[in-house]
Every structure is written in C-alpha cells, then in structure tokens.
Copies of this chain bind each other. A is one copy, B any other.
Amino acid sequence: MSTRDRILDAALASFGTRGFESTSLDDLAAELGIRKQSILYYFASKDVLLGAVVDRTIAELGGVLEAALLRGERGWPRIEEVVRAVFRLASRQPAFLGLLREVNRMGPDVADEMATRMGSLVSRAVHFLAADMKAGLLRQADPRFVLFFVYSTVVGTATDPAARTAMGVPGGIAGLRQLRRELLGFLRAALAVK
C-alpha cells in the first residue's frame, strides 16, 4: 500500500472521528511512523489533504449508493438495499459517515462543493422516491424531506455512540445486527402506506 494511500486512510479515520481541526499533522504522521513533512510532500497543505479525503469519500460513497439504488427493486426493497449498503460501509469504516457530519463544521464552501458533488445522486434518489410514492408503494410525502429524514436517522445512529450508550442500546457485533434490524423496521413503518 502506497504511503499516499496510507495517509489518506489515516486522515479519513482521524478527520471523521476526532474532527479536522482537532487532528494535527504531527499526530497523523506519528501514527503512520513518518514525519509531518512527508505528509506535506504528498499534500501541499492540510486543506488540500482534507479536499483529497472528502473527494475520495464522496466518490466511494456515491459508488456504493448508486450500486444499491440500481440493485434493489422498486419500493421498500430498494430503500432497504441502500440502508444495508450504508450499514456495511459504516461498520467497515466508522469514520466514513463521521466525515459527512464534519462538513457542517467547515466553511460553507466545502458544504457547497459536497452538495454539488452529491447533486445527481440526490436528485436520482428523490425521483425514485417520488415515483414509488406515486405508484402507491410508499407513503405520500415530500420526497426531499423523506430522504433527509432517512439520511438523518441512519447517519445519526451510526455517528452518535454517546447517545447510543446513554439510551441503553447494546453494542458489539450482535448489537449491530439488532440495531440494523430495528432500524429497518423503524424506517419501513415510517415509509409504508398506512
């Protein structure tokens, strides 16, 4: 694995959990067994590194979501497919969704860039939802809001371990499976036609 990729991986992990500003290049380098200047050799500045991490994350997330969207059948199965895909991603790389939340803290420029990057994916999802609602497969509602709520619920459950323990939701692998099952039940009820 190339040094460049190792840096990107470590940066994603740290940015997504500790946060961008709380991550120092020195710590990052120490974690990798190299010097800070080697990071700056590959990425001209900390901001450039962040950009590269965000780019790679969005690209991978986009690919996973798109594949899931095309894989699932109309209506609920497609949504379940997407949620399962996100769950897989989140359990393999916990910092992944954390980085999405981190965007809120950084300037509106980063948020705007993210928005445009995700634009086509979002509009496709919205159209899917609208079509499924029209076909009577999902509860009638504003699809943009529904997408936003599903996103918030899934990302929230994955990125708020403090609340999770506070509310007595078990952890571990078995807990994760149960969480996924219950979450799917919750969302399915929220989207089902009454």
Which residues of A does B touch, CB under 8 Å?
A: 17-19, 21-22, 100-101, 103-105, 111-112, 114-115, 118-119, 122, 126, 139, 141-142, 144-149, 151-153, 155-157, 159-169, 178-179, 182-183, 185-187, 189-192, 194
Given A122-B166, A145-B179, 6 further pairs, Cβ under 8 A: A21-B21, A100-B163, A101-B101, A148-B169, A151-B163, A152-B156
Copies in the complex: 2
Given contacts A21-B22, A22-B22, A155-B156, contact A126 B162 (CB under 8 A): no
Measured in the bound complex, the distance between the Cα atoms of B155 and A157 in whole Å is 11
B122 with A151: CB separation less than 8 A = no
